[in-house]
Structure 1
Amino acid sequence: MTKLSVNINKVATLRNARGGNNPNVAQVAVDCEAYGAEGITVHPRPDERHIRYADVYTLRPLVKTEFNIEGYPSKEFVDLVLKVKPHQVTLVPDAPDQITSNAGWDTKTNLAFLTELMDVFDEAGIRTSIFVGTDIPMIEYAAKAGADRVELYTEPYASLYPKNPEAAVVPFVEAAKVVRKLGMGLNAGHDLSLANLKYFHDNIPWVDEVSIGHALICDALYLGLKKTIEEYKKCLH
């Protein structure tokens, strides 16, 4: 069964726009779980423009499903993850000033760097995932680095899907087959939505987890959070 991990960064963005604690990020995480989400994802960035490091510490004892922390592995980020000990850490190659993730790792060029990180997190008992595109060599080098999983960067799929769903999903199916052959777990995320998630899952039913934030929170403005999570879960069954 594919798990739905809700990225709550956008909830924190809304909170931070006015200061205070409304909406309450921690309560939203608890409610997402109560409504059926099988995981909570956060992506703290150096400027703390949405999720703050303090939020991560607050959330850790509250999240009862699966806690996934994603981000660029700066010293501060690595220290945070090792102190909080989430179920999973997802490494993304974001620059500090990036608005959002827009590419996967060059795992070949960064093999030594990533291998060292995999060893550090593995020793701490934290499952590792590396954010990659569909290039087969990048997936193979993620395996060489010792990653437990990869997360496929799905924005190219989402962009092409309205025009040509079949062409959009083909490279992801091929990449997912390689991931499975290499014995790694498979995650996916970025711009997955109610419009395109079911087709993605129908073609790659063995994906372990999808991490969805922006589209899900946008849908919740119209449908409500509970109904939205229910609709996303329907896409995965």
Structure 2
Amino acid sequence: MATALSVNLNKIALIRNSREGNYPDVLEHAKVCLARGANGITVHPRPDQRHIRPEDVRQLAALLAPLAEREFNIEGNPFAPPRGNYPGLLSLAEETRPDQCTLVPDSDNQLTSDHGFDLTRSAEQLAPMIARLQSQGIRVSLFMDPLPEQIRLAKAVGADRIELYTGPYAAAWGGDQLEQIFQQHYRAAELAGELGLGVNAGHDLNLVNLAKYATVPGLLEVSIGHALTVDAIAMGLGNAVQAYKKVLADAAN
């Protein structure tokens, strides 16, 4: 079975937020992605609301709730406190009931997520948060680096899945370190499977580097936003979604 494609709509929201009004419309772009074969939609609301806003999350949840074969994934920092009309990640997830909540250790001063959890420091705080989300029927994934000891801790803390941070893999593309980094991810995915953890991946995957990464064992889902949005400028959003779907389908054969 091909790896699922979840389209991250943060960059659509970022463009919208550069002007007054609701153009481009995040909800309408989600509909295009789903109509052209996306398996799900990902959003990453942040307290500073630089892109996705709480109301976007609510509208997307209503769109996806009746679609049994499509998934809604909300990402974010569970430790970030409420701010303004941002209620906090766990409260927003409990209100909107996504299929999956991906916990990410980011902060306002990061342009984007750039590292996984260090569970030697945060496991004790995360454990009740994971249990709280799971009690609402929400699958929990932790954003992780491909480190065996950390992946074992992800299992111990109660996560359902991990999302492997693929930024270093993408940055190494075409360089001498690529194969070493890829093998790290390959072995990390194997270990996760042995432990009973599902494996997702995301960050800077694109039409060039995705095919190789999609051969990682047991890869259930990739979340792609930035590159897919850039490709959509040239080829159109629906065509971009189909291009990524084709790469994943070809890798599964």
Letter in 2 for 1:154: T
Q: 2:48 maps to what in 1?
A: 47
1:13-55 Cα offsets, whole Å, 9 max, x none, are 0011112111110000111000100000000000101000111
Q: Where does residue 27 of structure 1 map in the other structure?
A: 28
Contact 2:147 2:188 in 1 (8 A): yes
TM-score w.r.t. length of structure 2:
0.91
Q: What residue number does 1:66 align with?
A: 71
RMSD: 1.0
Q: 5 Å matches for 1:136-151? A: 136-151=148-163
| Partner AA of 2:175 in structure 1 | K
Matches for 1:190-201 after TM superposition, within 5 Å: 190-201=203-214
1:228 to 215, 234, 240: 240
State how far apart, in whole Å, the 1-side matches of 2:179 and 2:107 are.
Answer: 32
After superposing on structure 2, the runs of 4+ consecutive aligned residues of structure 1 that deviate more than 2 Å are 164-168
**Unpaired stretches in structure 1, ≥5 consecutive residues:** none
Is 1:216 the equivalent of 2:228? yes
Q: 2:103 aligns with which of 81, 87, 91?
A: 91
Note if contact 2:190-2:218 (Cα within 8 Å) is conserved in structure 1.
no
Match for residue 129 of structure 1 among 137, 141, 160:
141
User: 3-state SS of the aligned residue for 2:111?
Assistant: coil
Amino acid at match of 1:8: L
The reply on whether 1:103 has 2:115 as its aligned counterpart is yes
Cα distance in 2 between the residues matched to 1:210 and 1:235: 12
Partner AA of 1:91 in structure 2: L
Q: How many positions carry a matched residue from both structures?
A: 236
Q: For residue 228 of structure 2, what is the amino acid of its counterpart?
A: L
Instruction: Name the TM-score, length of structure 1 as normaliser.
Output: 0.97
1:158–1:192: 8 Å Cα contact kept in structure 2? yes
Structure 1 residue matching 2:121: 3-state secondary structure: coil
- How far has the Cα of 1:114 moved from its partner? 1.2
Match for residue 119 of structure 1?
131
The aligned amino acid for 2:206 is: S
8 Å contact kept, 1:158–1:168: no
d(CA) in 1 for partners of 2:109, 2:166 = 21
Kindly state the Cα deviation for residue 205 of structure 1 after the two structures are TM-superposed: 4.5
- Cα distance, 1:234 vs structure 2: 1.2
- CA deviation string 1:184-227 (max 9, x = no partner): 1000000000010001113x152000000000000110111111
Moved more, 63-72 or 157-166: 157-166
Q: Give CA deviations for 1:43-69 in whole Å, capped at 9, x if unaligned.
A: 000010100011101111112310000
**Conserved? CA contact 1:155–1:190, under 8 Å:** yes
What is residue 10 of structure 1 aligned with on the other side? 11
Contact 2:190–2:217 (CA under 8 A) maintained in structure 1: no
- SS at structure 2 position matched to 1:111: helix
Q: What is the rounded CA distance, in whole Å, between the counterparts of 1:98 and 1:52 in structure 2?
A: 18
Of all paired residues, the percent bearing the same amino acid is 46
CA deviation map 1:150-171 (0-9, x unaligned) = 0000001001122144233110
Q: Secondary structure at the match of 1:193?
A: coil
Distance between the aligned counterparts of 2:168 and 2:47, measured in 1?
26
